Amino acid sequence: MGFIESEERRLMEMEELKRMLVACAGLSRRKDQEDFQGLRFSSTGFDIDDLVGQKLVCVTSGVSFLGLAIVNRLLCRGYSVRIIVHTEEDMEKLRELEVSGEMRTSNNSIKAVMAKLTEIESLLEAFEGCRGVFHTAAFTDPAGLSGYTKSMAEIEVKACENVIMACSRTTSVRNCVLTSSLLACLWRDASTLDLSPVINHESWSDESLCMDKKLWYALGKLRAEKAAWRIAKDNGLKLVTICPGLITGPDFFPRNPTATIAYLKGAQEMFADGLLATVDVMKLAEAHACLLEAMNKTAFGRYIYFDHIIEREAEAEKLATKMGMPADKICGNAPINVQARFELSNKKILNLMSRTLRSCYNQS
């Protein structure tokens, strides 16, 4: 039970982490020079960057495809980041980076801790002292065609319950951002008479439908998110969830194969209905950071996030090529059913960012 990944994939993530730390270190040095020449102060008289730099946040699965991107965004904003790793191999590689001094970037730092998502006590220790937590982790398993089985969905739900419970029991943790999935919103029973053609943050997938279609990844994300909301409500924890489309970006398939394949189970139906959406990993990471910063202001509830909808066969073929799979696995052979197509809406998160977090994009 746990995260299954190849040695090649681990090496790719470690190299990406090194590149990220070098880039963030360069950015920090430039900011230090600018601040020395002209310090910026808030209305309280303290330097704004110093106040942000004092914040410590935790990212579960911090060396994953999405986890690394989130760590990147946080470090570039001046946060100190604690990342949770799940294997001794990852921990050893990170220790080497720490000893070499590469895991410190000027005024902020990154540290790794071993923790098991199946053990609350382990998470309590990992979260201690953190102001916020990003839960991004998903269990994978080599069994099954998609690499994500029904049993793994059950494990993911339990792990999510543990993370949210640990957040609520850690006095320093004020906010939690949970990565769910667009799949937790779009698998609905089409036979329902009052089914809305618009799928947004208020939409929920149907558990029975996911079970019938054996959409275990969708089921795991759906049940995990519902469990998170239940526990957060019962314990007064401030929570927001973000439901992204298929996560893409440089080398997305070799770096995130299990989740990618699992997401695309049912791709032909999603494509036919106009629901096959993607999001660039760095834009998604930026959205995570922005949501955390807005939780004490205007951010609340669920958010759908995507930056592209695959609507043409040429686009589907391009995606399939990147994954080394036949195009018909995504777009099928049947013509698009125009009558059955739906509309995806991410207006809530776009409105939030354009209204209060425009500066987040200016820093990218």
Residues marked as catalytic = 221
The whole-angstrom separation of Cα 255 and Cα 362 is 27
The whole-angstrom separation of Cα 163 and Cα 186 is 25
Nearest to 71 by CA among 81, 84, 85, 61: 81
DSSP E strand boundaries for 60-174: 80-85, 104-105, 108-114, 132-135
DSSP string, 236-294: T-EEEEEEE-EEESTTHHHHSHHHHHHHTTTHHHHHHTT--EEEEHHHHHHHHHHHHHH
Where residue 301 falls (left for φ over 0; alpha for ψ -120 to 50; beta otherwise) is left
Q: 288 with 134: CB under 8 angstroms? A: yes
The whole-angstrom separation of Cα 337 and Cα 354 is 34
- At residue 286, φ and ψ (nearest 5 deg) are -65, -40
The whole-angstrom separation of Cα 132 and Cα 112 is 16
The whole-angstrom separation of Cα 323 and Cα 253 is 6
The whole-angstrom separation of Cα 126 and Cα 103 is 18
Question: What is the sign of the dihedral through the CA atoms of 168, 169, 175 and 181?
Answer: negative
**Tokens of residue 143, six digits:** 């069994």
**Tokens of residue 174, six digits:** 């004020």
